Amino acid sequence: MANPIVLEKIKREARSKSKKEIIKEPIDGVLRIIPLGGLEEVGRNLTALEWRQKNGQSEIIIIDVGIGFPESEIMPGIDFIIPNTEYLEKNKENILAILITHGHYDHIGALPYLLEKIGNPIIYTAPLTKGLILKRQADFPEAVKPAIEEIKKTGYRPIRLGHFTIEYFHVNHSIPDSLGFFIKTPVGNIMHTGDFKIDFTPVFDQPADLGRVVQLAEEGVKVLMMDSTNANNPGHLVSERKIMENLELIFQKAKGRVIAATFASLLERIQQLIYLSGVYGRKVVIEGHSMKINTEVAKRLNYLSYPKGIFIRPEESLKMPPHQVSIFCTGSQAEDGSVLSKIADREHRYFRIIPNDTVVFSSSIIPGNENVVQDLKDVLVRQGAKIIHYQMMDIHASGHAFADDIRLFTSLVKPEYLMPVHGYFHMQKAVEEIGVELGLPRENIIIAQNGSVVEVKSNKVVLSQERQPANLVYVDGLGVGDIGEVVLRDRQTLAQDGIFVVIVTVDSQTGDTRTSPDIISRGFVYLKESKELLRETRDLIKRVIEKNVRFLGEESPIIQDEQIKYRLKEEVAEFLFKRTKRRPMVLPVVIKI
Considering the domain architecture, whether residues 195 and 74 belong to the same structural domain is answered as yes
d(CA 483, CA 485): 7
For the cut 90, the answer to whether the pLDDT of residue 370 exceeds it is no
Distances (CA, A) of 220 to 21, 185, 187, 215, 227: 12, 11, 11, 10, 19
**What confidence tier does 542 reach under pLDDT thresholds 50, 70, 90?**
confident
For the cut 60, the answer to whether the pLDDT of residue 569 exceeds it is yes
> Which has more confidence, 564 or 423?
423
* 85-96 pLDDT, tens digit each: 999 999 999 999
Q: Helix 267-279 and helix 289-300: axis angle, to 10°?
A: 80
Q: What is the CATH number of the domain that holds 365?
A: 3.40.50.10710
The arithmetic mean of pLDDT across residues 539-547, rounded, is 83
For the cut 60, the answer to whether the pLDDT of residue 552 exceeds it is no
pLDDT of residue 436: 97
3-state DSSP helix/strand/coil % of the chain, to nearest 5: 30, 25, 45
Q: Range with the lowest mean pLDDT among 68-77, 80-89, 146-155, 196-205? A: 68-77
162: left (phi over 0), alpha (psi -120 to 50) or beta: left
d(CA 80, CA 470): 15
Domain boundary among 478, 508, 539: 478
**What confidence tier does 20 reach under pLDDT thresholds 50, 70, 90?**
very low
Amino acid at 154: T
> Which has more confidence, 120 or 390?
120
d(CA 75, CA 222): 39
Strands, E assignment, 330-440:
358-361, 386-389, 417-421
Q: What is the DSSP string of 126-150?
A: -HHHHHHHHHHHTT-TTSPPPPEEE
- Which residue range forms the structural domain that includes residue 314? 240-389
For the cut 80, the answer to whether the pLDDT of residue 8 exceeds it is no
Nearest to 91 by CA among 118, 64, 115, 61: 118
Distances (CA, A) of 60 to 14, 26, 180, 234: 31, 17, 18, 36
Q: What's the gap between Cα 276 and its chain centre?
A: 29
Considering the domain architecture, whether residues 298 and 177 belong to the same structural domain is answered as no
pLDDT of residue 534: 83
Considering the domain architecture, whether residues 289 and 339 belong to the same structural domain is answered as yes
Considering the domain architecture, whether residues 559 and 430 belong to the same structural domain is answered as no
Task: Give the SS3 label for residue 370.
Answer: helix
For the cut 70, the answer to whether the pLDDT of residue 13 exceeds it is no
CB atoms within 10 A of CB 482: 12
Q: What is the CATH number of the domain that holds 502?
A: 3.10.20.580
d(CA 90, CA 365): 40
The arithmetic mean of pLDDT across residues 253-266, rounded, is 91
For the cut 50, the answer to whether the pLDDT of residue 70 exceeds it is yes
pLDDT of residue 446: 97
Domain boundary among 389, 423, 453: 389
For the cut 90, the answer to whether the pLDDT of residue 147 exceeds it is yes
- Is residue 163 flagged as an active site residue? no
**What confidence tier does 553 reach under pLDDT thresholds 50, 70, 90?**
very low
> Which has more confidence, 160 or 14?
160
pLDDT of residue 440: 96
pLDDT of residue 587: 84
pTM as predicted? 0.78
Considering the domain architecture, whether residues 44 and 118 belong to the same structural domain is answered as yes
Considering the domain architecture, whether residues 496 and 516 belong to the same structural domain is answered as yes
The arithmetic mean of pLDDT across residues 182-211, rounded, is 94
Considering the domain architecture, whether residues 202 and 338 belong to the same structural domain is answered as no
Strand pairing report for 29-37 and 46-53: antiparallel
pLDDT of residue 4: 53
- Is residue 400 flagged as an active site residue? yes
Considering the domain architecture, whether residues 77 and 176 belong to the same structural domain is answered as yes
pLDDT of residue 378: 92
* 102-118 pLDDT, tens digit each: 999 999 999 999 999 99
Which residues are paired to 549 by β-bridges?
559
Catalytic residue among 400, 404, 405, 497: 400
Percent over 90 (pLDDT), the chain: 56
pLDDT of residue 489: 56
pLDDT of residue 173: 93
**What confidence tier does 193 reach under pLDDT thresholds 50, 70, 90?**
very high
For CA atoms 285, 286, 287, 289, the dihedral sign is negative
Domain boundary among 478, 511, 546: 478
Q: What is the CATH number of the domain that holds 12?
A: 3.60.15.10
pLDDT of residue 27: 63
Considering the domain architecture, whether residues 285 and 414 belong to the same structural domain is answered as no
For the cut 60, the answer to whether the pLDDT of residue 25 exceeds it is no
* 270-323 pLDDT, tens digit each: 999 999 999 999 999 999 988 999 999 999 999 999 999 999 999 999 999 999
Catalytic residue among 64, 177, 227, 357: 227
Burial of residue 23, with CB atoms counted within 10 A of its CB: 0-12 exposed, 13-18 middle, 19 or more buried: middle
**Rg of the chain over all Cα atoms, to the nearest angstrom:** 29
Considering the domain architecture, whether residues 148 and 203 belong to the same structural domain is answered as yes
For the cut 50, the answer to whether the pLDDT of residue 19 exceeds it is no
For the cut 60, the answer to whether the pLDDT of residue 564 exceeds it is yes
Answer yes or no: are the C-beta atoms of 58 and 485 closer than 8 Å.
Answer: no
pLDDT of residue 78: 64
For the cut 60, the answer to whether the pLDDT of residue 17 exceeds it is no
CA 7-11-15 angle, to 5 degrees, is: 175
Amino acid at 407: R
Considering the domain architecture, whether residues 221 and 253 belong to the same structural domain is answered as no
Distances (CA, A) of 295 to 267, 301, 329, 488: 7, 10, 11, 35
Considering the domain architecture, whether residues 191 and 290 belong to the same structural domain is answered as no
Calculate the average pLDDT of the chain: 86
Give the total number of structural domains in the chain.
3
pLDDT of residue 72: 52
